[in-house]
Structure 1
Amino acid sequence: MFFTRSRSTLPTADGALPGRSTRPFPLAERHLVLDAPLVTDEVPPGLEVALFGLGCFWGAEEVFWQVPGVWSTSVGYAGGATPHPTYEEVCTGRTGHTEAVRVVYDPAVVSYADLVTVFLEVHDPTQGMRQGNDVGTQYRSAIYWTTPEQEQVARDMLARYQPALTERGFGEITTEVRPAAETTYYYAEDHHQQYLVKVPHGYRCHSATGVPFPQTP
């Protein structure tokens, strides 16, 4: 992914690639690490879904599947206009998607605020349409909330994090915050799922700021 270059301006809906009506590739049934279902459009009772974009999804997924209380993860494309895109199409910058991690978690074990803290601390939410050397709309920072409570937590935490970033010389947070209901999440190709299990020495992009999330007084 280091060598991928795509546009840094989101396409209009009319200018996006047309896509297709169904997923153009098969997916495995089980998560390679967590041994949970990989495709989890319907989650078990008591579990919730979080959806984040934080740069290259290979390393991002690895971070979240290690969090206690996370039941399953997958990588895919969110926030765009092209239905059922392929990775190659997303890389053109003409689908509008960002690389995303879908996290199914048990809120009795790990809170949404805990997941947002992980999200903020492992990438740089101030870089706009890039993350480190990965440049383009597919690498933008994003939170797609699935409940009003998630939205409130996310916005409050971004507001609390900004002064800490500013104090350390970083710019304004550029994280896109939108309801997940406004965007369809499309699963990425099977070889991208749990990629760093399949390729243990594969590419990881963690452009972390090194700024910890402020502790509650």
Structure 2
Amino acid sequence: MFLIDMFNKKTVMPDPAHALPGRDVELPTADTHFVNGQPLKGPYPEGTEKILLGLGCFWGAERLFWKTPGVHVTAVGYSGGFTRNPTYQETTTGLTGHTEVVLVVYDPKAVSLQQLLKLFFEEHDPTQGMRQGNDIGTTYRSAIYVYNEEQKRVAETVRDAYQQALDRAGRKARITTEIAEVGPFYFAEEYHQQYLAKNPGGYCGLKGTGVACIA
């Protein structure tokens, strides 16, 4: 019974009134990107845009995007929840409501949002709800947090195109990706930033469906 209760806690969004309270002080994190040296918190170059993407464990997800041409800088953190400035340990309880996300700062003249989202949908399984493979809980849900209406339109268009691709491939599962206006984003602790560059043999849970996104 205890294990069932713990599983349920991790896979059901908490009531905001009962979420962990958190703290007013920001968690310390890295100043610059371990791989490219760019400042994690900006200032970012004029003309760049931001989006938050959640596709399971943020270690592998971040590496996917920092390697993508046209991406200026990436950082990992927590968003979509209720707790202020949560710690990693707090998010894993399922009592903060956050999902692990990657902040992607990109140059739209070098890489389009459509291209980034095509990569997003292809490189994880967006049909699994509150999990990604063996990683279970609200922190591993698929999510796109947008900064404006145009980003939302593109996200919904690419999502619908990928659902059609899944349908054509004979997959009956429906996409569960959360698409919503961006809320507070909290940078994760320093050791999480660019984790797989610091620990090349570390865990990466990314696994796509094998279905290509034609959008």
Question: How far apart are the structure 2 equivalents of 1:96 and 1:213?
Answer: 29
The secondary structure found in structure 2 opposite 1:7 is helix
Could you tell me which residue of structure 2 aligns to residue 32 of structure 1? 34
Aligned length: 208
Q: Give the TM-score of the pair, scaled to structure 2.
A: 0.93
Task: Report the equivalent of 1:13.
Answer: 16
2:198 matched to 1:213?
A: no
Aligned Cα root-mean-square deviation (Å): 1.4
Which residue of structure 2 lines up, in the alignment, with residue 123 of structure 1? 124
SS of the residue aligned with 2:16? coil
Matches within 5 A, 1:37-116: 37-40=39-42, 42-116=43-117
**3-state SS, counterpart of residue 14 of structure 1:** helix
1:152 is matched with which residue?
Answer: 153
User: Following the alignment from structure 1 to structure 2, what is the Cα–Cα distance between the partners of residues 114 and 170?
Assistant: 25
Query: What is the alpha-carbon distance in structure 1 between the residues aligned to residue 172 and residue 144 of structure 2?
Result: 20
1:101 offset after TM fit, Å? 0.2
TM-score, length-normalised on structure 1? Answer: 0.92
Q: How far, CA to CA, are the matches of 1:56 and 1:134 in structure 2?
A: 8
CA distance in 2, matches of 1:164, 1:27: 39
Deviations 1:53-94 (A, max 9, x none): 000000000000000010000000010000000000000000
- Cα distance in 1, alignment partners of residues 214 and 108 from structure 2: 21
Counterparts of 1:159 and 1:197, CA distance in 2? 33
1:169-180 paired onto structure 2 within 5 Å: 169-180=171-182
Cα distance in 1 for partners of 2:36, 2:152 equals: 27
Structure in which a larger fraction of residues adopt helix: 2
Q: Which residue pairs with 1:189 in the alignment?
A: 189
State the 4+ residue runs in structure 1 displaced beyond 6 angstroms.
none
**Percentage of pairs with the same residue:** 51
Gaps of 5+ in 1: none
- 1:198 CA displacement: 1.0
Partner SS for 1:71: strand
Cα deviation for residue 17 of structure 1 reads: 0.2
